[in-house]
C-alpha cells in the first residue's frame, strides 16, 4: 500500500538547520512534523487526535516549537517533540507555567 501524505501547515523553524518545520498527515490519520530540509533529518510524531495550534513558544530544552493540543471536554496539553508532561523538567518549565498562567487569566482551554 502506498503511503499518501498531505501537507497540513508550516510551523516555525527547525532548531537544527533553520528550515521550515512542516506538519504532515498520512492516509491513516497519523500526524508528524518533518523538517523541509531532507538532509537535516529532524522528524517526530504528533498526537493522532486533537486540534493543533502553535503557541509561538519554544521548548527551552530542545528548541522545538510548543504546540497546543485541544481535545473535546479535556484541558489542553502541550507538545514539543513529545508531550511536555513527559519531560523530566516539566514541573520547573517556565514556558509551560507561563502558558498555563495566561490560559488561567483568559479562562480558556479548560483552565
Per-residue pLDDT band for 31 (boundaries 50, 70, 90) equals very high
Q: Is the pTM for the entire model greater than 0.95?
A: no
User: Shortest CA distance to 26 belongs to which of 44, 1, 48, 4?
Assistant: 4
Q: Which three cell numbers stand for residue 1?
A: 500500500
Calpha distance 33→35 (Å, rounded): 7
Calpha distance 35→10 (Å, rounded): 10
pLDDT digits (tens, 9 = 90+) for 44-79: 999 999 999 999 999 999 999 999 999 988 999 999
> Residue 37's Cα: distance from chain center in Å?
19
User: Shortest CA distance to 80 belongs to which of 62, 98, 97, 53?
Assistant: 62
- Check residue 2 and give its pLDDT: 64
- Residues 29, 48: contact at Cβ < 8 Å? yes
Is residue 9 over pLDDT 70?
Answer: yes
Amino acid at each position: 500500500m502506498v503511503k499518501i501524505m498531505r501537507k497540513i501547515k508550516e510551523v516555525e523553524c527547525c532548531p537544527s538547520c533553520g528550515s521550515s518545520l512542516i506538519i504532515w498527515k498520512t492516509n491513516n490519520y497519523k500526524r508528524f512534523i518533518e523538517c523541509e530540509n531532507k538532509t537535516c533529518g529532524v522528524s517526530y510524531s504528533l498526537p493522532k487526535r486533537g486540534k493543533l495550534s502553535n503557541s509561538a513558544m519554544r521548548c527551552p530544552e530542545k528548541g522545538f516549537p510548543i504546540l497546543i493540543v485541544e481535545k473535546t471536554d479535556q484541558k489542553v496539553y502541550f507538545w514539543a517533540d513529545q508531550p511536555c508532561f513527559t519531560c523530566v523538567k516539566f514541573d520547573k518549565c517556565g514556558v509551560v507555567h507561563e502558558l498555563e498562567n495566561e490560559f488561567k487569566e483568559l479562562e480558556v482551554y479548560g483552565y
